A and B are shown apart, each in its own frame.
Chain A
Amino acid sequence: MKVRDTRHDLLPKATPDDVSRQQAVVALRRVLNSKLYGRNSAYYDSEGAPEFAAATGRAPQSVEEVEAAFFMSPHYRMWSALNRSAQEMLWTAVGIPIVRSGEEMAAAYSRLSTAPGRLGALHLKDDLAKEATIDGVDVHLQPGGYTLDRGDADVAAGAFYETGGNMYSFGLGGGKGDSKSGCAIRWLEAKEGWRPPRRILEIGCSAGAATAHYAAHFPDAEVHGVDMGAGLLRYAHARAESLGVPVIFHQMDAGDLAFADESFDLIISHNLLHEISGETRRAMMCETYRLLAPGGLTLHQDVPLRLETKTMVEVVEKAWDVRFNNEPYWLTYGREDVAADLTAAGFPDVRQVMLPKLDAPGGWFAIVAEKPASSDSAP
């Protein structure tokens, strides 16, 4: 099953002009990322740092001062302005067909979620999203955020996430054949002693693209997905039904998962670690240990943003997303030892691995651990 650019009944109907507008933003972001982003550190050296030294009589001493020095470079200021504007244009380009197709998408959701003989299920929990630390934050500038929910058939949050996420990935140079779940599955199946899982849980499943992929790839497994956003989950549920794969979706907090002990033999997450607080992440790792059956395996994949060995200049370059792209936990994730969270949760042997991308340069970071066949070592 393709994960990106998959055709299904929930997608907003894009006109040829909508598609052209989206392609223009992809092109703009590719130029910004491939031609301009790499020049920023040189502009820091040639413009920002000298300007800072001229103003203060010394070199920048802290992350805050390095950031101030970056913004003393006119070229960096212009890149920053263009990059922020490009991100807003991305949401406009996908948002126009989403708003125009709102009624059709709601009707498709209603039809698919009530169809007799549907394969999966959806369990929503009223008001849970209001407790989310990301409620009120438009993460990545996604309009209305992950918890956008304007009524019983509102699926816009999922449509924004899937279509905007695809454009974001293509703008970074990713191909249509790339998928994080595909990378994970390839790595898992090459692992010594691998056995196909019988019960799979994806935490932070968002629009359900990866969840549906796991369900399609492991047809004998029972697959569950959890997220905080009702609009994301409605979309994910109807998307899976449209694609003909059975998935059970639940509205739950990643740090408080209402499943019985030892319920799953594979627990995964994709690009979730950088979206949650350290507190939620540590609670999620404890829940992962509790929910895994003895011998079960967990894999948490995310961007390769490890800041332990980075210079202050490199950290500030990465920190742009915190202020300008609403990524509140970006640096928290990059700076903290996420593998240690799994160790603290009880896993005796935690590995950090790179998962090569399927249709793009580079790879994804992942932490992987197995629960011992005997659960006597639980903390």
Chain B
Amino acid sequence: MTALAALPRGDRPFSLDSLEVEMAVSMSLALAGELCVAFDRIRRLEDAVARLEGGEAEAFRAREADPKEAAERQAEAEAMMARVLRLVLDARPAKPRPSLPTSAPAAT
């Protein structure tokens, strides 16, 4: 990516009111693209496993987990959601960023 990122030239016109929001939107879109890559890889793996088992991929995907497996997967999903919501769960008072002083510094 570093070599690729060195090639483009020119400015990047923004559309939204906030530069920060537009950058976050772009990163979210890129993540959606990477999610598609991951889904595609999972799908290929599912198809490969189904072929190895001599069955249909649809049947492989539809296989129900036993209760122990289901509980483990639910716990893993909750742990991931907790990681995603870390900033909300670990709530702290917001500290303002540095800004221009409202009065001139005192003479020394």
Give chain A's interface residues, CB within 8 Å of chain B. Answer: 16-17, 20-21, 23-25, 27-28, 71, 77-78, 80-82, 84-86, 88-89, 91-93, 95-96, 98-99, 136-138, 141, 143-145, 148, 156, 323-324, 326
Q: How far, in whole Å, are A324 and B22 apart by their CA atoms in the complex?
A: 14
By a CB distance below 8 angstroms, the chain A residues around B3 are: 99
- Least CB distance from A320 to B in Å reads 10
Q: Categorize the interface residue count of chain B.
A: 20 to 34
By a CB distance below 8 angstroms, the chain A residues around B88 are: none
Is A81 a contact partner of B1 (Cβ separation < 8 A)? no
Contact A77 to B4, CB < 8 A, known contacts A24-B33, A24-B37, A89-B29: no
Give chain B's interface residues, CB within 8 Å of chain A. Answer: 1, 3-4, 7-10, 12-17, 22, 25-26, 29-30, 32-34, 36-37, 40-41, 44
**Closest A residue by C-beta to B15:** A80
A85: which of B1, B29, B37, B41 is its contact (CB, 8 Å)? B29
By a CB distance below 8 angstroms, the chain A residues around B44 are: 16
B37: which of A20, A80, A98 is its contact (CB, 8 Å)? A20
Is B30 a contact partner of A89 (Cβ separation < 8 A)? yes
B8: which of A27, A85, A96, A138 is its contact (CB, 8 Å)? A138
Q: How far, in whole Å, are A249 and B16 apart by their CA atoms in the complex?
A: 44
- Some 9 contacts from A to B, beta carbons below 8 A apart, are A17-B41, A21-B36, A24-B32, A28-B29, A84-B15, A96-B1, A138-B10, A141-B8, A143-B4
Is B4 a contact partner of A81 (Cβ separation < 8 A)? no
- Least CB distance from A319 to B in Å reads 13
Contact A21 to B15, CB < 8 A, known contacts A96-B4, A143-B7: no
- Least CB distance from B37 to A in Å reads 4
By a CB distance below 8 angstroms, the chain B residues around A143 are: 4, 7-8
